[in-house]
Chain A
Amino acid sequence: MRKTIQALSLLLFTAFFALASYRLPDWLPADLYLRLDPLLGLNALLASREMIGRVLWSLILIGATLAAGRFFCAYICPLGAAIDGFDFLLFRKVRRAVLRTDSTLRRGKYALLIVFFAAAATGAALVYFMDPIALLTRFYAFFLYPLLLTIINLLLDILRPLFQGWGWVGLSHLHYPQPVYYMAAVTLLIFGAVIGLNRLAPRFWCRYLCPLGALLSLISPLGVFRRRVSAECNRCMVCQKGCPMGAIGEDPLKTGSADCIQCRECARICPQKAISFPVSFSGVGEYSGLDLSRRGFVYSVGGGLTLGFLSLRTPFASLQGRRQLIRPPGALPETAFLRTCIRCGECMKSCVTNTLQPSLWESGFAGLWTPKLELRMAACEPNCNVCGKVCPTQAIRSLSLEEKTHAKIGTAVLRKESCLVWAQNKLCLICDEICPYNAIVFRPVEGYRRPVVIASRCNGCGYCEQRCPVQGPSAIVVAPDGEIRLAEGSYIREARTLQLEFKPDPGDDKYLLEESGFK
């Protein structure tokens, strides 16, 4: 029963992940799991000091946990399901003794929780690193999804001769564009570590590390389902050994309510059938395992503040906007963006052209995994606005296509010294050909038509940079200059105020006549 619900939840998570793509309908919350996560939401609220509408969704999970305890971990959490699944595959036959450091380690997750909240208080949103939903979404986006498409394309290639033989035209021409991402290896390593730690103890991650589990366990003892052991118990200790969370201590009659995830494994394996989980409205469960010492608390707060300091007080912060870093259209102003973005990778997964990529060190420690545009590889598609739609904390605002068109992300700059036309008098007009806004026009200079960028018509989509046929770096590059980043309000109005127009106006093309294919 539990496994079925777990599998269904993982499937649902996967389905929502798959739906986060160009065709996503407006009403469908593909980022549902991320929205439900109160840890991500609270951290973003605290770090950004702003109200975020989508974070209210997490009240559902908080309410459910208050009512029924920490069932999320056993039934809903997709990372929990993945951990259980891999546990069954890899470590089912491994005998795992109780770790001698169990009680110390158990405090670890609370220490981490405090570290993250203290860091958030300084304005550094770092919880993304260990939030289970963000972690799994990243793993899906940067590793699993590209791997899946590689396998599908490989199968298609292998079967292609058959398709051709049978005359199946559609299938014999089928090929999916292969998404690629930076940071895929790092993301895989982290996920691998989460799984590998299970070798030491079942659900190692959930017991000792998961900050979301820690947050939920703070309120879970209030839930109505309590483990009850009847007089039939003969202290055989089977339940204690079998509890995946190690929530049953020396006395099998007692339950660490904070650690209990209501999986009811103990009830299932009890030879005496002495364990049940009846509804009980009296009192509160036991808060065992929550005894972080005062010293530990102070250390954690200190650690969090230090992390916040280290990630924010760097030259990267002072150099904001002076670096070659193009953010997605609709991204909040940089400081707010860094505070709000939870690095889940949904925007990058859903990006129709694959231009959205996780940052490495471009904006320092505070900007790891944040989305940037890799315009030399692919452009930002004018007909797509999905990155904002799927952003669970609205670090990228969800904009209509019309608004998104006006959310200028930068301005194309011609590097005349490498441009084929400017430097070599060649007949190249690819940037003009591909520009969706006619922001590149040709003007006669020194007896030759040469491309010129009209900055007020360029919204930085990057088609020119991507398509420039010059080998190596493009001869036309989108720089952050002129980008519009609004925390609220209309981009269309702002663009109008700035006298920008991203509309067709082919008037300037008449200059073409002087030296075109026409003679």
Chain B
Amino acid sequence: MSGDSGVISRRQFIITTAAGVATCVAGYPSFLHAAEEVDLAVISGEPATATRKALEVLGGIARFVKKGQRVIIKPNMSFARTPDFAATTHPQVVVAVARACIDAGAKEVLVLDHTLQRAELCLERAGIRDACRNIPGVHVLALQDRKFFREIRIPQGKVLERVEVVMDILDNAVLINVPVAKSHSTTGVSLGLKGLMGLIWDRESFHSQFNINQAIADLATVIKPQLTIIDATRAMVTGGPGGPGDVRKPNLIIAGVDPVAVDSYGVGIVPWYGQNFKGRQVEHLLAAYQRGLGKIDVEKLNIYKGTV
């Protein structure tokens, strides 16, 4: 392959710079205002309405999705479990995001995951495919063949030099990460950053070959979702990631641009395995923070809390 080291970050850098310059030239300070707005939107309520409210608080989906763009939504649908197990993202959260993207003029929305169990079973059980069935332009896909992945380099990787990722996210698309909040027997919690493992081909090597926490941080340096929305309407606080486990109902949607900040807040919402934690106590989050990928201290964040 053509190698393009750091293709995502460079491109994003250029786009961001260009956008910034353009807004300044045009004399519209709204872009800068948007950046100064809340770091996190934490909304309590029913899955769909809370998700819509969270998007609104962050400045509307139009801030992230422009007309004619392709959007990749990455929910967690890796397990053949029904939504009540909290092993997968709530279908209504995915639907709310997907609809918002289509309404904002997205060309198409791909809801995809590299499932751990048979694709067909996961799609059937997780309920996301059924929920998205009647939204034109939205496609729910479970990718289980290597031909849908492409290798990229990780210039800032500490343990990973290269990784095969889902091709579709390389294609200048908007990536929205919509994980479910759950415990994880290896990494403590599985939120946004851990969820990105669903976009790579060889998930197993993270466990067997590499230090998984460092590998997740490495991955976060090349896969950078524009938006992370944690579905904490339910949280599997033990038994994760596959369950069955103890399911709590925090009834929260946590959304933000900074993937570390969103996850860090997510760590604090419920006791995991019967104990309270902070973001800094989660090894992969700490590693990502130390790489400069985001803010980890919840106290320093500008958080909008609301109920719908």
B2 at the interface (CB under 8 A from A): no
> Are B185 and A353 closer than 8 Å at their CB atoms?
no
> Are A506 and B208 closer than 8 Å at their CB atoms?
no
Contact with A along B153-187 (1 / 0, CB 8 A): 00000000000000000000000000000011111
B241 at the interface (CB under 8 A from A): yes
B245 at the interface (CB under 8 A from A): yes
Provide the residues of chain B in CB contact with A432, threshold 8 Å.
185
Q: Which residue of B lies closest to A354 (CB)?
A: B118
Q: Which residue of A lies closest to B139 (CB)?
A: A169
Which residues in window 109-126 of B have CB below 8 A to A? Answer: 110, 112, 116-121, 125
Please list 10 pairs of residues, one from A and one from B, whose beta carbons are closer than 8 Å in the complex, sorted by A's number.
A169-B139, A170-B141, A173-B139, A177-B144, A352-B120, A429-B207, A467-B204, A506-B238, A506-B246, A517-B213
B243 at the interface (CB under 8 A from A): yes
Q: How many angstroms between the C-alpha atoms of A238 and B15 in the bound complex?
A: 85
Distance in Å: Cβ of B23 to nearest Cβ of chain A: 31
Distance in Å: Cβ of B167 to nearest Cβ of chain A: 10
Provide the residues of chain A in CB contact with B272, threshold 8 Å.
518
> Are B186 and A516 closer than 8 Å at their CB atoms?
yes
**Which residues of chain A have a CB within 8 Å of any CB of chain B?**
22, 157, 167, 169-170, 173, 175, 177, 352-353, 381-384, 420, 426-430, 432-436, 438, 442, 467, 469-470, 503-504, 506-507, 509-510, 512-513, 516-519
Provide the residues of chain A in CB contact with B241, threshold 8 Å.
433
Q: How many angstroms between the C-alpha atoms of A393 and B121 in the bound complex?
A: 28
> Are A504 and B245 closer than 8 Å at their CB atoms?
yes
> Are A517 and B283 closer than 8 Å at their CB atoms?
yes
**Of listed A383, A420, A434, residue having the most chain B CB within 10 A:** A383
> Are A381 and B188 closer than 8 Å at their CB atoms?
no
Q: How many angstroms between the C-alpha atoms of A175 and B120 in the bound complex?
A: 11
Q: How many angstroms between the C-alpha atoms of A510 and B238 in the bound complex?
A: 8
Provide the residues of chain B in CB contact with A383, threshold 8 Å.
80, 121, 125
Q: How many angstroms between the C-alpha atoms of A47 and B284 in the bound complex?
A: 61
Which among A167, A353, A429 is the interface contact of B108 at CB below 8 angstroms?
Answer: A167
Which among B121, B186, B243, B245 is the interface contact of A427 at CB below 8 angstroms?
Answer: B186
Q: Which 9 A-B pairs have the closest CB atoms?
A: A504-B244, A517-B188, A469-B208, A506-B239, A517-B187, A506-B238, A518-B188, A169-B139, A469-B204
> Are A506 and B207 closer than 8 Å at their CB atoms?
no
Q: How many angstroms between the C-alpha atoms of A510 and B110 in the bound complex?
A: 37
Which among B147, B239, B280 is the interface contact of A509 at CB below 8 angstroms?
Answer: B239
Given contacts A383-B80, A504-B243, contact A427 B211 (CB under 8 A): yes
**Which residues of chain B have a CB within 8 Å of any CB of chain A?**
80, 108, 110, 112, 116-121, 125, 139, 141, 143-145, 147-148, 183-189, 204-205, 207-208, 211-213, 238-239, 241-246, 272-275, 277, 280-284, 286
> Are A352 and B121 closer than 8 Å at their CB atoms?
yes
Which among B208, B239, B284 is the interface contact of A420 at CB below 8 angstroms?
Answer: B208
Given contacts A352-B118, A509-B273, A517-B187, contact A427 B212 (CB under 8 A): yes
Q: How many angstroms between the C-alpha atoms of A79 and B246 in the bound complex?
A: 54
Q: How many angstroms between the C-alpha atoms of A503 and B139 in the bound complex?
A: 34
Provide the residues of chain A in CB contact with B213, threshold 8 Å.
517
Q: Which residue of B lies closest to A506 (CB)?
A: B239
> Are B283 and A381 closer than 8 Å at their CB atoms?
no
> Are A430 and B118 closer than 8 Å at their CB atoms?
no
Which among A175, A434, A510, A516 is the interface contact of B242 at CB below 8 angstroms?
Answer: A434
Distance in Å: Cβ of B176 to nearest Cβ of chain A: 17
Provide the residues of chain B in CB contact with A352, threshold 8 Å.
118, 120-121
Q: How many angstroms between the C-alpha atoms of A469 and B116 in the bound complex?
A: 13
Provide the residues of chain A in CB contact with B286, threshold 8 Å.
519
Q: How many angstroms between the C-alpha atoms of A329 and B195 in the bound complex?
A: 33
Q: How many angstroms between the C-alpha atoms of A396 and B25 in the bound complex?
A: 74
Which among B144, B205, B211 is the interface contact of A469 at CB below 8 angstroms?
Answer: B205
Distance in Å: Cβ of A173 to nearest Cβ of chain B: 5
Provide the residues of chain B in CB contact with A506, threshold 8 Å.
238-239, 243-246
> Are B273 and A512 closer than 8 Å at their CB atoms?
yes
> Are A157 and B147 closer than 8 Å at their CB atoms?
yes
Given contacts A169-B110, A381-B80, A517-B213, contact A509 B185 (CB under 8 A): yes
